Amino acid sequence: MIDVLHDPTDRLESAVELSVVIPMFNEEEALPALVARLRPVLDATGELYEVVAVDDGSTDRTVELLKELRAGWPQLRMVRLRRNSGHQAALTAGLHHARGRYAASLDADLQDPPEKIPEMLDLARARHLDIVYGVRANRSTDTGFKRHTAGVYYWLMRRMVGNHVPAQAGDFRLLSRNVLDALKALPDQPRVYRLLVPWFGFPSGEVTYHRDERVAGHTKYPLRKMILLAVDSIISFSVAPLRLATWLGALAFVICLGTLVYTLVVYSAGNTTPGWASLIIAVLFIGAVQLICLGVLGEYIGRVYSAVQRRPTYFVADDTGAAVAPMAGIAWPGPQRGQGSALDSLGGPGTP
């Protein structure tokens, strides 16, 4: 494995071997089926484990059901966020709180089979891997539109970010403590884990599976959120849009230069015409290019502005695995934890 400089408070004082992180938002309909499938799988491993259920500001009975389930399942741990912060932020909260030597991330809709988690764990141990990706071998349960847009997304990401990004790998993966510590050391900012995790370059492997239909409820990733995810992925990991703006500007310059030559030729031949149509087209084209360039530049400036503000991506309201109530407003468990720091309330191997 690749060694990472660990925070002293991140030494594995806890005996937890496996953490399963599950972001949840309005999943009351899926929870019974999730527990019915997940618990037997984890119990059968014989490992000491915990299930970190991160409630992302649900408005249904998700929190109440989790509290009821904890009464009969002591390994279930609930981390409740104060408001809906988004799937990736909830996933960040869960990974920051995970105490196991390994952490698997899983969605509550059971489209990704929990039965693959032991296989991931065995593969990581046998081949000394820090990352094991769950790769979708079949997406027949998705709509044709979803399959095509997903294919375009992964193709675009691999072209713009690099071939190290595994195709058809979402947020179903297993991470070692080395990777978790590396993620904690990063500044607090919006993250796209399907691009960020491969970027580290840790030894990795893959486990293929067939993607099932959602067990209950409805998708939390409509078209609008998929578009926002694609935009975040591109802006966060590539300067290609800025280069595209440069090439659009160069193209506009060439077109304008050609128009200038054409105008001079026509003028020298004494065959001048009003030319309002070509003038309008040229003005509209240049104006569109300028607006596109300004929009792309604005996206990057907005990311810089957000980074400078250093606002946390999530706020923890409750953590049933913490000895004390979590501090409001503390969201980034960086390397300063321990020795009475307020960040100890965020959990991790160094806390009870």
| pLDDT, tens digit, 9 for 90 and up, residues 125-184 | 999 999 999 998 876 666 777 777 777 777 777 777 677 778 778 889 999 999 999 998
Query: Is the pLDDT higher at 139 or at 341?
Result: 139
pLDDT > 60? residue 280? yes
Work out whether strand 204-210 and strand 131-138 pair parallel, antiparallel, or are unpaired.
parallel
Closest CA to 113 of 41, 23, 205: 41
* Lowest-pLDDT choice from 3-17, 99-113, 200-214: 3-17
pLDDT > 80? residue 24? yes
Task: Taking the CA atoms of 200, 201, 207 and 210 in sequence, report the sign of the dihedral they define.
Answer: positive
Work out whether strand 18-24 and strand 102-105 pair parallel, antiparallel, or are unpaired.
parallel
Q: What is the pLDDT of residue 271?
A: 67
* Lowest-pLDDT choice from 80-84, 199-203, 281-285, 332-336: 332-336
Closest CA to 9 of 345, 339, 342: 339
**Dist CA 265 CA 339 (whole Å):** 79
pLDDT > 90? residue 42? yes
Phi and psi (nearest 5°) for 23?
A: -70, 140
Q: Edge-to-edge strand order for the sheet containing 169-176?
A: 204-210, 131-138, 169-176, 102-105, 18-24, 49-55, 76-81, 316-319
**Dist CA 153 CA 59 (whole Å):** 31
Closest CA to 87 of 229, 186, 287: 229
SS3 169: strand
Q: Tell me the residue type at 40.
A: P
User: In the numeric block, which tokens belong to residue 210?
Assistant: 């067939």
* Lowest-pLDDT choice from 147-151, 265-269, 270-274: 270-274
Query: Is the pLDDT higher at 41 or at 139?
Result: 41
Arithmetic mean of pLDDT, 242-246: 74
Work out whether strand 169-176 and strand 131-138 pair parallel, antiparallel, or are unpaired.
antiparallel
Would you state the torsion angle of the CA atoms of residues 44, 50, 56, 58, taken in this order, to the nearest 10 degrees?
60
3-state SS string over 100-135? CCEEEECCCCCCCCHHHHHHHHHHHHHHCCCEEEEE
pLDDT > 50? residue 330? no
Closest CA to 38 of 103, 115, 144, 136: 115
* Lowest-pLDDT choice from 16-20, 139-143, 166-170, 302-306: 139-143
Instruction: Give the pTM.
Output: 0.69
